[in-house]
Amino acid sequence: MLESQRPNPFAMAQEQLDQAAAILQLDPSLHTFLREPMREMHVTIPLRMDDGSMRIYRGYRVQYNTARGPAKGGIRFHSAETVDTVRALAAWMTWKTAVVDIPLGGGKGGVVCNPKELSPSELERLSRGYIRAIGGFVGPEIDVPAPDVYTTPQIMAWMLDEYENMVRHHAPGVITGKPLIMGGSQGRFESTARGGIIVLREAAKQLGTALCGKTMAIQGYGNAGQHAHRIASGECETRVLAVSDSKGGIYSARGLDYAAVSAHKAATGSVRDFPGADNITNEELLTLDVDVLVPAALEGVITKANADQVKAKIVAELANGPTTPEADAILFDKGVYVLPDFLCNAGGVVVSYFEMVQNASAYYWTPEEVGQRLEAKMTTAYDAVHEMAQRHHVNNRVGAYLISVQRVAEAVRMRGWA
């Protein structure tokens, strides 16, 4: 798809909010307040390359809304990053923390770069440079970043170290998704996928079926996509027929073995050309005849151009913003049951919140404690969204918005901001 034809994610996020505001008959000043970010930073980051030359990078941090708590959300390193993408993702974080009812607001950050072209030491200097640029405006009680597309626990460790150098004391709660040794939480790395699978399991139950024996296609093979493959094909006995990454996808009617595919990706840099599977395109993956489609890559992939060809009965959005509002309407009319992004992928931020709680008390939980608490948060949120959607005869995304917008709007109103 040409860059100019891609939907503007922030326009999408505003349109989704407008729909919910209309149903809620939201006070116009509250609605206007919630349509825009509260604060954003645009920073310029100089980077000394290994060969001695200098390059200048653009970075953003958007604190969309902090009525319910400190801003919270990841940092993306991506060459197609724009400030509107970061705004949209920060808005979705606001609705995400609200739908799972954790005391945090929404934020997001991004650096326009291609991390695959940087050496490890260049990546470290860029990560530290970004935190130096925004460090005066983040903190455990202000804004707490985390990993997102192409950022890793190692990058979180460099960023934490740089921040602690700035403030001259330990402050593990300034960033989540850290390595365990630096105060990370058990279960954080798989938590986005784990939360999504919990929601999917509850949805299947609601639809009178079970995940076991179902077929699945996963678009995107980063943290969320890979763990989803592992958990779905292992614990849930779901047959994963297709997976893809930025270079393309693979399909096997017998199902793809997680350990073998991830080893192939680690060795070759892509899932493509996996022995015994057929190569397919990312576009083809989205319209495969499977029970469950899991978009786990980037925003704006299910659009009005391909939504009517989606054959899955359930779409579980592990990515942020994969479905445009027009596509949403088409899927709803077709009877496709969509588990919206800010519910389905909230497991990541839920365990990030658990990480913050553990950092604040300097007392760490077992994997079982994390798992049980995540389970409780996700099932409660799913039940509330499903119930709200049924009550208003709307899709699950609008149902989720109704819950979140009400919660955030109430906090904004109580504070007297609008």
Q: By the criterion CB under 6 A, which residues form the site for ligand GLU?
A: 72-74, 96, 146, 148, 176, 320, 345, 348-349, 352
Q: How far is the CB of 107 from ligand GLU (least distance, A)?
A: 8
- The contacts of residue 131 (CB under 8 Å, 6+ apart) are 138, 158, 159, 162, 163, 166
Phi, psi of 337 (to 5 degrees): -90, 105
Amino acid, res. 308 = D
Tell how strand 39-48 and strand 71-72 pair up: unpaired
Q: How far is the CB of 377 from ligand GLU (least distance, A)?
A: 13
Q: How far is the CB of 257 from ligand GLU (least distance, A)?
A: 27
Q: How far is the CB of 91 from ligand GLU (least distance, A)?
A: 12
Q: How far is the CB of 93 from ligand GLU (least distance, A)?
A: 6
For the chain, the straight-line distance linking the first and the last C-alpha, in angstroms and rounded, comes to 40
Beta bridge partners of 112: 58, 78
Question: Closer to ligand GLU at the Cβ: 67 or 90?
Answer: 90
Structure tokens at 76: 């993306």
Pick the catalytic residue: 108, 178, 265, 377?
A: 108
User: What value, to the nearest 5°, has the Cα angle with vertex 116 and ends 59 and 72?
Assistant: 40
- What size, in residues, is the chain? 418
**What does the alpha-carbon distance between residue 171 and residue 29 come to, in Å, rounded to a whole number?**
37
Residue 152, Cα to own-chain centre: how many angstroms?
Answer: 14
**What does the alpha-carbon distance between residue 297 and residue 80 come to, in Å, rounded to a whole number?**
13
Question: Closer to ligand GLU at the Cβ: 147 or 249?
Answer: 147
DSSP structural state of residue 114: -
Question: Closer to ligand GLU at the Cβ: 13 or 30?
Answer: 13
Q: How far is the CB of 146 from ligand GLU (least distance, A)?
A: 3
Question: Closer to ligand GLU at the Cβ: 90 or 243?
Answer: 90
Structure tokens at 376: 């409780």
Question: Closer to ligand GLU at the Cβ: 146 or 409?
Answer: 146
Q: How far is the CB of 72 from ligand GLU (least distance, A)?
A: 5
Q: Residue of minimal CB distance from ligand GLU?
A: 74
Question: Closer to ligand GLU at the Cβ: 7 or 348?
Answer: 348
Question: Closer to ligand GLU at the Cβ: 315 or 330?
Answer: 315
Question: Closer to ligand GLU at the Cβ: 30 or 403?
Answer: 403
- The contacts of residue 93 (CB under 8 Å, 6+ apart) are 64, 71, 72, 73, 105, 106, 107, 108, 342, 349
How far is the CA of 388 from the CAs of 39, 247, 392, 397, in angstroms?
Answer: 31, 39, 6, 10
Q: How far is the CB of 31 from ligand GLU (least distance, A)?
A: 24
* Residue 345 near residue 315 (C-beta atoms within 8 A): no
Active site residue 214: no
Q: How much of the chain is helix, strand and coil, in % rounded to 5? A: 50, 15, 35
* Residue 400 near residue 99 (C-beta atoms within 8 A): yes
**What does the alpha-carbon distance between residue 262 and residue 259 come to, in Å, rounded to a whole number?**
5
**What does the alpha-carbon distance between residue 232 and residue 193 come to, in Å, rounded to a whole number?**
9
Host H or E run for residue 292: strand 292-295
**What does the alpha-carbon distance between residue 3 and residue 377 come to, in Å, rounded to a whole number?**
37
Active site residues: 108
